[in-house]
Amino acid sequence: MTLIFKDLQHDDYERVLLSQDESVGFECITAIHNTKRGPALGGCRYFSYQNHEDQLTDVLKLSKAMTYKNSLANLDFGGGKATVNAKIPKVQFYELFAQVLKELDGTYITAGDIGMVDEDLVQLKTLSPYVCSTKGSDSGLSTAYGVFNAMIGYEEFYSQQSTLENKKILIKGYGKVGARLAQFCKQSGAIVEIVDFESKKDLIEKDGFVFLKHYQDTNFDQIDIFSPCATGGDLNQEFLDFTKNKKVNCVLGAANNQLADNEIEQKLFNEGIIYCPDYCVNAGGVIILALRSSFKEDMEYDEPEAKKKLIGIKDQLKNILLLSQNKNQLNTISSNELAEQGFQ
């Protein structure tokens, strides 16, 4: 196997590296968006792309998003991402991707993403020092704890209340993040309903929560916080139609890419609904990755250094809300402005 490296020129990116071995069908694109805060940290996506253009578009978008997320979380890392067109066995992938990491010489630290589980990262780590794994850690727990703290920050900002006592919270998705978030909310005094598939009904009810097939089935007269914790795109026209008949005060959840299109946040704002940018509130996972890379490989969410960073999500959200209030602008604009202060 012989890798050929080629630098692709893209404005606003420090380096975009195409790595290919046509003899086995390997194609990897690594985008390093910005390293002013430190080496680029971001996952490797092992995915079957339809074509080179789709793969390139994905890695450029994802690497830039990591710069903003890492900056807003005040981490000593920049933003980067790798995408690999999943056409070869993993055993060949490990060897070839390790060569890519060697070529980048520590300017990019890889981690998990779609198609990459902890065992893959463990194998990669035997071949390269530029790998960060959450093996042995519960990344869902750290993400959920960060989202919970963001909820507290939202309440402190708008109601001067430091708990979720009697708040009506509707969580969509009862996976490794949503289930932990529901418990944190319940412990803080919230009233919680869960939306998920019928297959989760028994588990949800066993855990003491109300199960719903659809968020439209909610028993709440109004929803204080709607929390998308499943797939992206939940904030769409269907959700906007729902809010015409059911008051929703805030959207704050762990899912990535919650806004179905660029106009949705403005429409939510027009309805008096506060949208809290996902890349701010769901940063708990990358915070643990960064701490594990810099300090301690088995760092957990409840250790002092980690807790301090995760609780910091609350304060950063309050900074965003204050800036938006002062400038009468959308929260995504404010979060982008604050993030950019950290790397420009």
Q: Answer whether residue 268 shows pLDDT above 80.
A: yes
Task: Please give the share of the chain, as a percent, with pLDDT higher than 90.
Answer: 79
The answer to whether residue 89 is domain-embedded is yes
SS3 at position 318: helix
- What stretches of the chain show up as alpha helix (H) in DSSP? 52-72, 90-104, 118-125, 139-159, 178-187, 201-206, 237-245, 264-270, 278-281, 284-294, 304-327, 331-341
Mean pLDDT within 87-93? 90
Domain end (from 95, 125, 155): 125
Residue range 203-233, pLDDT digits in tens:
999 999 999 999 999 999 999 999 999 988 8
Mean pLDDT within 42-71? 93
What pLDDT, on a 0 to 100 scale, did the predictor assign at position 296? Answer: 55
* Active-site hit among 64, 69, 81, 314: 81
The answer to whether residue 262 is domain-embedded is yes
Q: Answer whether residue 326 shows pLDDT above 80.
A: yes
Q: Which domain holds residue 85?
A: 4-125
CATH label of the domain that carries residue 172: 3.40.50.720
Domain end (from 125, 152, 171): 125
Mean pLDDT, the chain, as a whole number? 92
What pLDDT, on a 0 to 100 scale, did the predictor assign at position 160? Answer: 93
Name the β-bridge partners of 83: 29, 45
Q: Answer whether residue 253 shows pLDDT above 90.
A: yes
Domain end (from 80, 100, 125): 125
CA distance 286 to 134: 10
Tell me the pTM.
0.85
Q: Are residues 119 and 152 in the same domain?
A: no
Mean pLDDT within 143-162? 96
> How many domains does the chain fold into?
2
Q: Answer whether residue 301 shows pLDDT above 60.
A: no
Q: Are residues 10 and 95 in the same domain?
A: yes
The answer to whether residue 306 is domain-embedded is no
Q: Are residues 157 and 215 in the same domain?
A: yes
The answer to whether residue 261 is domain-embedded is yes
| φ, ψ of residue 172 in degrees (nearest 5) | -105, 115
Q: How large is the C-alpha radius of gyration of the chain?
A: 20
Q: Are residues 165 and 38 in the same domain?
A: no
Q: Are residues 147 and 18 in the same domain?
A: no
Mean pLDDT within 193-200? 96
CB 287 within 8 A of CB 145: no
CA distance 337 to 229: 25
What pLDDT, on a 0 to 100 scale, did the predictor assign at position 73? Answer: 92
CA distance 201 to 336: 38
Q: Answer whether residue 95 shows pLDDT above 80.
A: yes
Q: Are residues 190 and 272 in the same domain?
A: yes
The answer to whether residue 290 is domain-embedded is no
Q: Are residues 68 and 165 in the same domain?
A: no
The answer to whether residue 61 is domain-embedded is yes
- Supply 20's token pair: 């290919």
Dihedral of the alpha carbons of 215, 221, 227, 228, in degrees to the nearest 10 = 20
Q: Are residues 96 and 145 in the same domain?
A: no
Q: Are residues 161 and 84 in the same domain?
A: no
Q: Are residues 252 and 204 in the same domain?
A: yes
CATH label of the domain that carries residue 50: 3.40.50.10860
The answer to whether residue 257 is domain-embedded is yes
Range in 203-212, 230-239, 278-287, 288-297 the model is least confident about = 288-297
Active-site residue, 81 included: yes
Range in 60-69, 98-107, 302-311, 325-334 the model is least confident about = 302-311
The answer to whether residue 256 is domain-embedded is yes
SS3 at position 78: strand
Q: Are residues 194 and 235 in the same domain?
A: yes
Q: Are residues 216 and 331 in the same domain?
A: yes
Amino acid at 51: N
Mean pLDDT within 155-182? 96
